[in-house]
Amino acid sequence: MLLILSAGIATAAILVQYTTAALAGWRLTAPSRVAPMNPMPFVSLVRPLCGVEEFSVETLACSFALSYSRHEVIFCVADARDPIIPFVRSAMASNPGIAASLLIGRETASGNPKLDNLAKGFRAAAGEIIVFTDSNLLLPADYLERVVSSWRPGIGLVSAPPFGSRPEGFWGGMECAILNTHAARWQYAVDAVGYGFAQGKTLAFRKSDLDRGGFVALGAEPAEDAAATKFVRARGKRVGLVAPAFAQPIGHRRARDVWARHLRWSRLRRATFPHLFVPECLIGFVVPVAACMFAAQEWALSPLAAGLGFACVWFVPEVVLGVRAGWPMSPRMVLMLPLRDGLLLLIWLATWFGRGFVWRGHDMRAARAAEH
């Protein structure tokens, strides 16, 4: 019985691995079938800022290099002493032809510091469409065209996961390995079958939906992207993802930063979508390869040889997907993939031993909505 179960786990996992990579690859590389809106709506790009990061100057600058003809840019900063403020004012002064504003101050209404920072930007926005875009996302010139033209019948929110680019060092590479062929692969795969999830890097709403209680609803969960997903589905609509994804330059990372960030995301997933979080331990490489090696031993085969062969077969679709999508995929990155899956399993286990996390200096707790 254990032999059949182990062989079944290994076989099913391989099928899921190849299927998700194929679906994600199709979504990322298929030609767009969506015609642009005509006339193009006025768009408010709202970017929350907090502190100076490695690529802050570059990600600020791209906010002023967008080709969309009808838009405004609103920067939101919570603290008047934030060191990012002089950089924002300098960028605005260097681009007087761009309609841009800086709003400072934070409400304390939702318990989500990011959402509280964005509230003033939502109220000030004049656009028919509001696009909330994280500060560390590198926006291509056609960013707003791609977001706006991704609306189609049945879509109530347009979002996009980031892909990690320009990693430096081991932990920068590990961050890319997690973001790209793991997280983005799964997000685009489920989007391909009509079950897309919002991702907080890009959240684009119709202003009318936010005015009718949508913005308040974003505070119903500890993560605004999970709340946005539930809000849209409750209205009988779907989340649509922009493809291909937008770049988040990674640069250097420290081990504790990578651990803390993904533990935070993991605890938020456990709180907001617990039925989907529980089986996450099965989607990486560790459990299936253990099942394969156990089955090989029962069949009087070499467990080590079986495990190595399984690894070669397992990671092929991820490598192909990364190359096709244009994501960082060096020989060193390939060797990181099994280490990444081991790290993600440890994070999954650690998630069960608490709900607290720290986000940009704020102590927070990933509690279910009913616990608030």
CB within 8 Å of 148: residues ≥ 6 apart: 36, 37, 40, 41, 43, 68, 129, 158, 204
pLDDT at residue 357 in the model:
60
- Which residue has 């996450």 as its token pair? 280
pLDDT at residue 37 in the model:
65
Average per-residue pLDDT in the chain? 91
Q: pLDDT at residue 9 above 80? A: yes
> What ranges make up the beta strands (E) of 179-227?
202-206
pLDDT at residue 36 in the model:
59
Phi, psi of 267 (to 5 degrees): -65, -35
Q: pLDDT at residue 359 above 90? A: no
Domain ranges of the chain: 2-24+266-358, 34-257
The burial class, CB within 10 Å (0-12 / 13-18 / 19+), for 22 is middle
Phi, psi of 155 (to 5 degrees): -90, 130
Give bridge partners of residue 49 from the DSSP assignment.
Answer: 77
Residue 307 to residue 215: CA distance in whole angstroms: 49
For 293-311, the pLDDT digits (tens) are 988 887 878 989 999 999 9
Is-contact 157 232, C-beta < 8 A?
yes
Mean pLDDT confidence for 339-343: 97
Q: pLDDT at residue 35 above 70? A: no
CB atoms within 10 A of CB 175: 23
Residue 102 to residue 63: CA distance in whole angstroms: 13
- Which residue has 């456990």 as its token pair? 270
Residue 39 to residue 51: CA distance in whole angstroms: 37
- Buried b / exposed e over 124-147, threshold 16 CB at 10 Å, is ebebbbbbbbbbbbbbeeebbbbb
Which amino acid, one-letter code, is at 107?
E
For 144-164, the pLDDT digits (tens) are 999 999 988 899 999 999 999
For 224-255, the pLDDT digits (tens) are 999 999 999 999 999 999 999 999 999 999 99
Angle of helix 303-325 versus helix 331-351 axis, rounded to 10: 110
For 63-120, the pLDDT digits (tens) are 999 999 999 999 999 999 999 999 999 999 999 999 999 999 987 777 788 999 999 9
Which stretch of 35-49, 227-241, 266-280 has the lowest confidence by average pLDDT? 35-49
Is-contact 116 78, C-beta < 8 A?
yes
Which stretch of 84-98, 136-150, 198-212, 351-365 has the lowest confidence by average pLDDT? 351-365
The burial class, CB within 10 Å (0-12 / 13-18 / 19+), for 121 is buried
Residue 208 to residue 128: CA distance in whole angstroms: 7
Is-contact 88 59, C-beta < 8 A?
no
- Name which of 152, 150, 320, 318 is nearest 246 in CA terms: 150
CA distances from residue 153 to 156, 167, 330 in whole angstroms, order as listed: 9, 37, 39
Mean pLDDT confidence for 309-314: 93
Mean pLDDT confidence for 169-178: 97
Total residue length of the chain = 372
169: left (phi over 0), alpha (psi -120 to 50) or beta: left
Residue 272 to residue 293: CA distance in whole angstroms: 34
pLDDT at residue 370 in the model:
45
- CATH architecture group of domain 34-257: Alpha-Beta Complex (3.90)
Q: pLDDT at residue 312 above 50? A: yes
Percent of the chain scored above 70 by pLDDT? 93
The single-letter DSSP state of residue 18 is H
Is-contact 121 46, C-beta < 8 A?
yes
- Name which of 250, 244, 245, 58 is nearest 164 in CA terms: 250
The two tokens of residue 157 are: 């929110």
Residue 39 to residue 41: CA distance in whole angstroms: 6
